[in-house]
Structure formats: structure tokens, C-alpha cells
Amino acid sequence: MNLRKAGAAAAIATALALTAAACGSDDDKSSGTDGKKDKIVVGIKYDQPGIGLKEPDGSFSGMDVQVATYVAKELGYDEKDIEFKETKSANRETALANDEVDFIVASYSINDERKQKVDFAGPYFLAHQDLLVRAGEKFTDAKELNGKKLCSVTGSTSAQNMKKDIAPDAQLVERGGYSECVSALQNGAVDALTTDDSILAGYAAQPANKGKFELSGLKLSDESYGIGTKKGSELTAKINKALEKMVSDGSWEKTMNDVFGPAGYKFEPAPQIGS
């Protein structure tokens, strides 16, 4: 009887050891011995030409994509190890809190309200809120916007700025993505699309939009783009170092010239990282 019990106990111990070994091998696939994951997930926009765009062939282009790729490489990841995931404006804080992404590079303006929920590395870019209008229909003053129909994206800083400060009496139409606003502008459903000038320049420069739209040239606000990280994440300091190197080695300016040169958009000098 005792021998049978001892044999059964040994069999159970062996089974548990094998199970543990199997679990250990799964962990090894997801994380190296240094604790670094095999892949890094980066949140970007999919519908912003020049900023973050998913191309028809499934590839990605834009300033944020290039910045994210540089940062990920400095963190030890090859391009093949980067997974880009769409994070719309209204979902960015949730995506970080739920660990759906490791960091977000998605025209993510730094402000006090957001800093209560997430941390930011950067800023890495300074944009200004402006208006995209039909060709020949420029606005010359923010006061002209009251009573007009303006389109922006739900959860964006631009929408909040318009409601609170710039033109509280404007009729604000909020959509899930900027492409929807461009369509609304084209068919006359709204008078203007408002967001950052860097984003608007990308839409205006698209071949299908050439000659149809123009920017009003109003600097309605300053928008400092940061890289969003989970509150308390150790990645924040590491990303700041990567951004500092990107500026110092000339990669930042080259990226901006490559992205915005064809659109004729004059970008601001690199902001001070960590400011």
C-alpha cells in the first residue's frame, strides 16, 4: 500500500515538473532572458496621410511611423518585431491602461488632462491647430467660425479647443476619423475640417485632393506631440533618450523633410525633449 502511494506521488511530481517545463518554454517565446519581449506593440493612426497611414498594400507610412520605428530600434527591436496597432483618439488612454500597446505615437497632443491618465515622452513635434477648407474659401479670423459647421474627430484636442475657447458657437460635428470629415467637407456637409496643420497638410497633398482643398493658415493653438506610455512606465525615460538621439544624429530633421517636403509644409524646429 505504501509503495503504491509512493509510486503515485512520484508520478504526480513528474507530471507537475513536465507541465512547469512546458510553461517555461512558452514564456521563453514571449520574453528573452533579459526580460525584453520578442515583439513590441505600437499604437498609431491608420488614417492620417503624412502622420500615420495604413497603405493599401498593408504597409505603414508617415512621420509617426518613422519616429516609432526609430524609437523601437533604440529599444532593441528590428522592424520585423514591431506590431503597429490602430489607436483612435478616443481610445488612446484605454489602450495604454489595458496594456493593449506598449506606447503610442499617434499625433498625441500633451495636455494636463491627459497627463493625469498617462505619461508622455517628448515632445517630438510642434503643430498648430488650423482649418482645412474648400479651395478659395479661407477663413481669416477665428471669430468667423461661430455659426459655421466644423468637423473634427471625437476625443481630439482640436474638438475640445473649438468647444471651449476658439469658437464656442460653431456647430461642431464629430466623426470617428478624419477621412470622414474630409468627405463631409468635399460634399458640402461642413464648412471646414479642424485639426493640426500637420495632419491637414497631409490630406491636402494627397493626389486625389490636389487643388480641392487648402489650409486657412490660422495658428489657433500650439500642439506638442508626445509619445504616450502607461502611467509609471520605465519606457518613458528610455524613449526620451531615443528621441534625443534622433534629434542629435540628424535623423529627426531628415524624417521631417522626407515626410513634409512634398506637401510644402514648413515644420517647426525640433522641440526640447523632456520640456
127-215: in CATH 3.10.450.50: no
Q: How many CA atoms lie within 13 A of 255 on its CB side?
A: 25
User: What mean pLDDT comes out for the span 115-119?
Assistant: 97
> 199-258, pLDDT tens digit by residue?
999 999 888 888 899 999 999 999 999 999 999 999 999 999 999 999 999 999 999 999
Work out the pLDDT band at 37, boundaries 50, 70, 90: confident
DSSP 75-124: TT--GGGEEEEE--GGGHHHHHHTTS-SEE-SS-B--HHHHTTEEEEEEE
40-126+224-263 against 127-215: fold identical: yes
Examine the pLDDT at 113 and tell me if it is beyond 50. yes
Domains in the chain: boundaries: 40-126+224-263, 127-215
Architecture category of domain 40-126+224-263 in CATH: 3-Layer(aba) Sandwich (3.40)
pLDDT in tens, 180-194: 999 999 999 999 999
Q: Looking at the predicted structure, is the pLDDT value of residue 31 above 70?
A: no
C-alpha–C-alpha distance, residues 193 and 202, integer Å: 13
Tell me the one-letter amino acid at 118.
Answer: V
